[in-house]
Structure 1
């Protein structure tokens, strides 16, 4: 099968969309398929055996590290020359619509993957009154795809509510070897918690849309140490709000595996996650998760078994719930151990290989076969 991936983001950008596309093209090549990536921003012309076509882009004003792909003839040329069997639209927005239109003109079936809550993103940055226009645009994009895949029940409900047809659930996978309890590192723990503190960690982009300012709600809990893994425009704000936190910055590879597995509690603050890969990676590492009761986190965290949920609002009561949940787990090592085992068990069936095989063998095949089937005579 020949698969063209039109992605709103790709390496070297570090985010959920780019990471998922990387896993996808690597798996396609492993299974003997041919892949092409069309993406915005600077970067190489190939990823391993997969060619990468770069298109014009502009930096997003409040998020300059995220280039927005612009409609470009390069999209049309790339798709027509590659002649794919299916076009995969990764979190389509502007560039994705360009890819969708080309696929429609050429009669190529499409699969769209919903991954970014654009409306929630805009709200966190203070854009008021744009919700209706954004939802209308998203419906226009996703309603034209052969299939739309939502990563969680909450994301599915969002798209169903605006009338997106041909909608299916397809979660994201996790690297079960990279994120594993075996990576827990005693020497790292001694460095981060010299007095035996309980390590409470946030892992992810340190930015406004993740509501990282809420980390101050758990600052100063007795016997705990806050660890922040990641980077972003709000790093200085977090450092100012929680000066005692250990800021490890961006980590990759083995360092990231060790940092996540060495935590005692993983915390998340974002309330607009269509999935939340960082939380799934913590679960795979055997670390219980404390997170808002919203979005994709509702699918990942089973309260009392793999972690705890707190109200997603930013009210004083909600922040009290956040703090109480962390305090409760910090004071109960036996409960954390039980939850850690259950956390790992909850994701062992979600390895990338199985998840991506489903994408290819179920969803790609369905749209390809549907496109090849002539309509019934009237």
Structure 2
């Protein structure tokens, strides 16, 4: 099957979507699927990554709020690229304008919308929920809900990676919603990657000895990730016990995060660790993973941390919440730094021994389920079992 992923969120400089795309290209090759990632960029180009895997870019403008990304503007150029590629199945992975462009191309070709973003949680709920109820916000954003419902009619499947997002889409009247949870790279993340020297080194860089607790946070530095809230909570909790926080990431909110850290010597901001093996060791060597964003559609880093055998401390809403279920997770009220302090201080009471690692769904299973849905759609059937 020839699949084209019209991927508006792809950036070569990193992020969760880049990680997902890299895994998709490698796994699809093994599964005998032909995959093209069609993404916006500075110029038209094609990078062949294998006999059945490639990234093709279309010259497009930079996204003004985050220059690391671009956006599709020229619908004719997008359609021309799809005509050339002649796919059997098309994915779109943005809930904004580009899925309408894709839907206008050859309606007879089956299509799926992959919900890689949750704008309502990332923006509307985050900004307005302290002032009004979620129900009121949804009524005020009825035009966006109408847009989502339109996409549900135009696309053969609207794919969500967590039940939290899928249930909200269905409750909002979006049709053709299916849940296909993501996973982690097989054998990459496990408790066996723990490294005592690495842990001691990170704590030392936080001005602490090996008896302290090492917390790790990782991901794109953006306002919806609420990293200043994590910094504030760790600073407060650190008055009661020795805590170090190592943050790995880059992005437009970096200056604001550094300002929130201020003179706290026990919290450090590091550049992202792009070597996946080294990052797996970082996660496994920590004492817990800390996350602040309630707008995740899945939360890859929480999945990787859970598979690495460390506790996760995550909001009680959004895709990350799934990883607080069971004995190796703690949740706190989303956006509530006081309750986050409580969760951090509860850590030694709840976790007296390290786990061998949670059995996480493998990315191979995710793509096998996804491609099975695509095969059913190309034959006119939608599988209800993801």
Instruction: State the TM-score, normalizing by the size of structure 1.
Output: 0.87
Query: 8 Å contact 1:8–1:69 — kept in the other structure?
Result: yes
Alpha-carbon RMSD across the aligned residues, in angstroms, is: 2.4
Q: Which runs of 4+ in 1 moved over 6 A?
A: 127-130
The answer to whether structure 1 residue 132 and structure 2 residue 133 are counterparts is no
What does 1:137-286 correspond to in 2, within 5 Å? 137-194=147-204, 195-196=209-210, 197-215=212-230, 216-219=232-235, 221=238, 222-242=241-261, 243-244=264-265, 245-253=267-275, 254-286=277-309
- Counterpart CA distance in 2 for 1:152 and 1:66 is 25
What does 1:299-310 correspond to in 2, within 5 Å? 299-302=322-325, 305-310=327-332
Q: What SS class does the counterpart of residue 217 from structure 2 fall into?
A: strand
* Bigger shift: residues 28-37 or 258-267: 28-37
- Counterpart CA distance in 2 for 1:167 and 1:81 is 29
- Name the CA shift for 1:125/1:67 in 2 (closer, same or farther; >3 Å): farther
Q: What is aligned with 1:365?
A: 375
Q: What SS class does the counterpart of residue 293 from structure 2 fall into?
A: coil
Structure 2, unaligned runs of 5 or more: 130-136
Structure 1, unaligned runs of 5 or more: 373-378
Residue 86 of structure 1 and its aligned partner are, at CA, apart by 0.9
The number of equivalent residue pairs is: 357
Q: What is aligned with 1:59?
A: 62
What does 1:260-339 correspond to in 2, within 5 Å? 260-302=283-325, 305-312=327-334, 314=335, 318-329=336-347, 331-332=348-349, 335-338=351-354
Query: 8 Å contact 2:94–2:117 — kept in the other structure?
Result: yes
Query: 8 Å contact 2:323–2:329 — kept in the other structure?
Result: no
Q: Could you give the per-residue CA deviations for residues 1-44 of structure 1, whole angstroms, max 9, x where no partner exists?
A: 11111111224042223322222222222222222221112475
Q: What is aligned with 1:111?
A: 112
Q: What SS class does the counterpart of residue 117 from structure 2 fall into?
A: coil
What does 1:70-109 correspond to in 2, within 5 Å? 70-104=73-107, 107-109=108-110
